[in-house]
Structure 1
Amino acid sequence: MLQTRPRDVQVAEIAQDTWILRSRTWDRLKFETEYARQKGTTANSYLIQAEKSALFDPPGGSFTDIFLKELHDHQYFQKLDYLILGHVNSNRIETIKRLLEIAPQITIVCSRPAANSLKAAFSNQPLNINPVRGEEVLDLGKGHELQFAFTPTPRWVDGLCTYDPATRILYTDKFFGAHVCDDAIFDENWKQLDDDRHYYFDCLHAAQSKQVEDAIDKMARFRPKWYAVGHGPIVRYSLSRLKLEYLEWCEQQENQELSVALLYTSAYGNTATVAHAIAKGLTDAEIKVELINCELVDPSEITAAIEQCDGFVIGSPTLGGHAPTQMQTALGLVLSTASKTKIAGVFGSYGWSGEAIDLLEGRLQDAGFAFGFDTIRVKFTPSEEVLQHCEAAGAEFAQALKKMKKIRAPRQGAVEAQTDRTEQAIGRVVGSLCVVTANQGETPFGILTSWVSQATFNPPGITVALPKDRAEGVLDHPEIPFVLNILKEGRNVRRTFLKATAPGENRFAELSTDHASNGCPILLDALAYLECKIENRMDCGDHWLLYATIENGKVLEPTGVTAVQHRKTASAY
């Protein structure tokens, strides 16, 4: 049960030149799903006071007055040089405005999308903004040379994490937190936080697990000993465990049998709030959700998501009587790509009219799509009751999806049932996730596979099975060299090789690579690699089976764990 205590700000020195300011409430604070456990919350801000000073992430409007009073009264907070923002939202703008009135000299450090949001919010006021991409270093003196990682997600498109090598603290903003409120600054009793942390992940991150994995991958270049989180206790005693749990929870989402692509844009945050509530209903029903903010992705990513999903939900605000351009583009891609067997859903928010919602609904109805829930229309800010309805709609969509799958499943006789059981059994054969790299003329070639096995001791050799349609013209005769890159668990190199690429696009452009002695690319983020040469190739139906001898090899990360591919059936990778 919640305590009846006034809101306050808890201040403590946590490391060299570093303080935490925990704005606390024992109330629920908001009606969004992530606060539903009703254990209160903390909005954590941090301050580094070295030769120059930097304040991280001031709280939202609920705490503005008490936070600024504490900041003004505290003897160490006489001058602020930098304001570092992990993300920007309308709630935080109020505190930023008041802070700039007190300290107009502040330079704001944030991501480029956050800088654009600030310029729009402060259109009549000049701001001193230093947008960062991730390669910059901000030197506060005394060893506090801050480094940055741009970590966007559909929910926080402007996400930025900051690392201080002097204290080895990684300021993670929305990652690794929990909505609880007590006096513990650190997570000494971390076992008691398990349920709250998992619930926080399910509410905020389950529907964007792909981007969460990408963010964790970007954070891997740092070596933190603490996570300075935006909510709840600082992660000090359970850092490795919590990081592993996040990766496991992401993997659980990705391994769900049925999937939904949830497409949206949001002008003022209301459409996004509705999208997240629908996503929560879907993930609670064990449906994988790919949350796609159409303002952030290329059309090719939308097309790929629609092709791969079992159903889709699309939502839009109405601006000037129209859907934003991004949503009109997304609708066109859906209509040209999606099979009519897929279940659809439509939602949106509006102020005075809802033409965009009518457009989405009408075009999908005319195209013959079945709907998984009644179209959701939200005027202005969604209430608690509306968000509960949206969650229920997500659960309703999930049931429709599962029912449709059963209806469309072919009735099988005894032989077919035996085939299914056989495929399931074969699917239990697991393999190491690897990327085969070679040269296709002057262009590097790479293909993801888990069908790899050691074949011989002397000479050392392996077998690799590759689909014919992917490997033809590259690895097609003896003596051809290639590199087998064995991937590391917890890194997202595999995503690069799962994405569709445009003709001529260099799949390796964003990867760290080197060249093996046989001239083929080495993925430096791999766990290990083997330099191989094809000795023989066998025609095996829809695959080529390559036997290759190993000429050289190296372990790149001795303490890493091999990434493994688990399958539920032998009928798919």
Structure 2
Amino acid sequence: MSIQVKNNVKWVGIKDWETEYFHGTEYKMGRGTSYNSYLIQEEKTVLIDTVDHQFDEQFIANLEQEIDLNQIDYIITQHAEHDHAGALSTLMAKIPNTPIYCTEAGVDSIIGHHHQPDWDFRVVKTGDTLDIGNGKALVFVEMKMLHWPDSMATYMTGDNILFSNDAFGQHYCDEHLFNDEMNQTELFDECQRYFSNILTPFAPLVKAKIEEVLALGVPIDIIATSHGCIWRENATQIVEKYYEWSQAYKEDRITIVYDSMSGNTRIMADAVAKGIRRESPNTAIKIYNISRHDKNVILASLFRSKGVLVGSSTMNNVMMPKVAALLEEVHGLRFKEKAAAAFGSSGWTGGAVKRIDSRLKEAGFSVEEPLHLHWKPDGEGVATCVEYGVSIAKTWNDQNVVAADMGEKPQEPEVVTSQADEQPLPEVRASRQATQEDAKTEIKPESHADDCTCYLCTVCNWVYDPKVGEPNQNVEPGTSFHDLSDSFLCPECGLGKEVFEPIA
């Protein structure tokens, strides 16, 4: 069953009430998901994305009730992952000569998934347009690494719809389709959980891409995502939220997460929380046992927190396995400007606390001295934990006061929404950005001294070393990062200077 989005645009996707996991078992869905596909019927008929492969027959059957498949002029594939393009093979078996519009990286991804190199691929870049008749056009925007190299978004002029791919979506299945019809608490909880668990590593790029889309100067009335709701009432509120979340986001919240063999580390966690509450009564404190709570909920809480305490019993002189796994994910998510500390109880040695402390430092946290106790905390041990919590709260409050005094509140992007008396749309010109053949050799200095001037790509971790330069782009050794051309691209992932940060 189709649902009208606006004028000649229909939703023809699938709602999946039963699915529990995404990315293998790494992302647990509490409320299912949807696979959003869109049918545009102007002078040209366009299909934007398909659905997950497990629903390919149902998708085709539903689509055939809407239209003769042979009338589809173009297929837009914004992302080749199976939950976006899984039904593509089944569809193309019926209409094999239909052109597929995608990015250059999309060609590789689609062939890699479907093994059909002879399909009619049409490569697009940011700013390229496709006329679909009736005075309307599709404008393409590459969204590299949000969250795959092949990702792109599509803007439809005239109706002012941004088909945003994974950006601004959420794994959330509801009886309704539009944001104003849904439970707002549930909706924004799923939005933030999706961002924190999936898009956080690419936060600098999120900010840059939002600015790039808005620089087109076109109004946005509807944001049609690939998963979850379609934003139609105050659609750009989610753009403003993403912009805020992409800039080292944190609230007055502290998350304590632990695992415990005998309950001793749990006693420590409760006592530390009591100390934090005593010193900072307005700070939200969330306590989780990693063995018993949803890992993705924990990661979302870490994303929201100004500080994190990670505790573990010591087993075989190392931390508990689930704590180690969580820290590995935390390292990959690359949270910014957050404080952390390690704690734990042990019988005869405290190897877990030392390892947690080391991993937190490697993950880029500002780390306080750890707290380690032997055996089960007695009255004196509990008092030590309470005082530790008091000290932690005071230190982290002071750090955030200093940061607030030194910094400015992030500026929200100017978002254009159309009015009833809107002026004619500005001309959207195709602008092909300079491209560079990807270099396959990763260049990394062996060490970084205190006076290091290297810069790190926050998306793929490639390092620009001024001493080496970048020979594939004719950058001579001795060229500082600030002297690089604005057209400089990371040779590993192909992104621009905006995603680089100095190595501390």
Please say if residues 15 and 34 of structure 2, whose CA atoms lie closer than 8 Å, have aligned partners that are also in contact: yes
1:30 is displaced (CA, Å) by 3.0
Residue of 53, 75, 80 corresponding to 1:61: 53
1:108-167 deviations in Å (ceiling 9; x for gaps): 111111111223445455111011111211111112211111111263121100000121
SS at the partner of 2:71?
A: coil
Asked if structure 1 preserves the Cα contact closer than 8 Å seen for 2:70 and 2:95, the reply is no
The structural deviation recorded for 1:219 is 1.8
Given candidates 9, 13, 18, the residue that maps to 2:9 is 18
Q: Following the alignment from structure 1 to structure 2, what is the Cα–Cα distance between the partners of residues 254 and 500? A: 31
| Paired amino acid for 1:429 | D
Name the aligned partner's letter for residue 16 of structure 2.
T
**Which whole-Å CA distance do the structure 2 matches of 1:423 and 1:180 have between them?**
36
8 Å CA contact 1:61, 1:91 repeated in 2: yes
State the match for 2:189 in structure 1: 195
Q: How far apart, CA to CA, are the structure 2 residues paired with 1:199 and 1:20?
A: 24
CA offset at residue 403 of structure 1? 3.5
Structure 1's 118 and 201: CA in aligned 2 closer, same or farther, altered over 3 A? same
Cα offset for 1:253?
Answer: 4.2
- Paired residue secondary structure (1:69): helix
> Which residue number corresponds to residue 36 of structure 1?
29
Question: Are 2:217 and 1:240 equivalent residues in the alignment?
Answer: no
TM-score by length of 1: 0.48
Partner in structure 2 of residue 215 of structure 1: 209
The equivalent residue for 1:316 is none
1:108 partner amino acid? I
Q: For residue 198 of structure 2, what is the amino acid of its counterpart?
A: L
Aligned pair partner of 2:40 in 48, 58, 66: 48
Q: What secondary structure sits across from 1:200 in the alignment?
A: helix
Percent identical: 20
Offset, 1:285 = 6.7
Distance 1:52 1:433, change over 3 A: same
Other structure's SS at 1:429 match: helix
Q: Which amino acid aligns with 1:194?
A: F
Following TM superposition, by how much is the alpha carbon of 1:215 offset from its aligned partner in structure 2, in angstroms?
Answer: 2.3
In 1, the alpha carbon distance for the partners of 2:200 and 2:116 equals: 38
Equivalent residues of 1:40, 1:179 under 8 A apart: yes
Q: CA deviation at 1:91?
A: 5.3
Matching of residue 406 in structure 1 with residue 368 in structure 2: yes
Does the Cα contact within 8 Å between 1:181 and 1:232 map onto a contact in 2? Answer: yes
Instruction: Say which SS state the counterpart of residue 196 (structure 2) adopts.
Output: helix
1:177 is matched with: 169
Read off the aligned partner of 1:200 and give its amino acid letter: Y
Cα separation, 2, equivalents of 1:429 and 1:92:
44
Q: Does 1:88 align with 2:50?
A: no
Query: Kindly tell me: are residues 371 and 185 of structure 1, through their superposed partners in 2, closer, same or farther at Cα, counting changes over 3 Å?
Result: same
How far apart, in 2, do the equivalents of 1:154 and 1:133 lie?
15
Structure 1 residues 225 and 406: alpha-carbon distance in aligned structure 2, compared to 1, 3 A threshold? same
- Contact 2:20 / 2:29 at 8 angstroms: preserved in 1? no
Change (3 A) 1:33 1:189: farther
Matches within 5 A, 1:399-438: 399=342, 403-404=357-358, 405-407=367-369, 427-430=403-406
Task: Give the structure 2 partner of residue 269 of structure 1.
Answer: none
| Matched position secondary structure for 2:220 | coil
| Residue 66 to residue 433, structure 1, CA distance change in 2 (3 Å) | closer
Structure 2 counterpart of 1:286: 302
Aligned-partner SS, 1:243? helix
Q: Spell out the pairing of 1:449-488 with structure 2 (5 A cutoff).
A: none
Q: Which amino acid aligns with 1:184?
A: H
Q: Deviations over 1:502-549 (max 9, x none)?
A: 5176545249xxxxxxxxxxxxxxxxxxxxxxxxxxxxxxxxxxxxxx
Cα distance, 1:286 vs structure 2: 3.0
The AA in structure 2 aligned to 1:11 is S
Identify which of 15, 27, 49 aligns with 2:18: 27
- Counterpart of 2:405, as a letter, is V
Q: Matched residue of 1:65: which SS?
A: helix
Deviation string 1:169-206 (CA, Å, 9 cap, x unpaired) is 00001011122223322111352422122222222212
Find the aligned partners of 1:29 and 1:286 in 2 and give their Cα distance: 22
Q: What SS class does the counterpart of residue 127 from structure 1 fall into?
A: coil
For this pair of structures, how many residues does the alignment match?
A: 323
Cα distance in structure 1, aligned partners of 2:219 and 2:318: 47
Evaluate the alpha carbon distance shift between residue 254 and residue 281 of structure 1 in structure 2; reply closer, same or farther with a 3 A threshold: same
Judging changes above 3 Å, is the alpha-carbon distance between structure 1 residues 500 and 98 closer, same or farther for their aligned structure 2 residues? Answer: same
2:140 alignment partner, one of 143, 148, 155: 148
Secondary structure at 1:205 match in 2: helix
Match of 2:129 among 137, 149, 166: 137
Q: Does 1:74 align with 2:66?
A: yes
Task: List runs of 5+ in structure 1 lacking aligned partners.
Answer: 1-9, 259-277, 290-369, 377-387, 410-417, 435-468, 470-498, 512-572
Pairwise mapping of residues 153-552 of structure 1 onto structure 2 (< 5 A)? Answer: 153=145, 155-189=147-181, 191-192=184-185, 193-220=187-214, 221=216, 222-253=218-249, 283-284=299-300, 286=302, 390-391=325-326, 394=329, 399=342, 403-404=357-358, 405-407=367-369, 427-430=403-406, 502=469, 503=479, 506-507=483-484, 509-510=486-487
Q: CA deviation at 1:80?
A: 1.1
Decide whether the 8 Å contact of 2:179 with 2:229 is kept in 1: yes
**1:281, 1:390 within 8 Å by CA — same for their partners in 2?**
no
Separation in 2 of the partners of 1:254 and 1:279?
19
Matched to 2:29, the amino acid is A
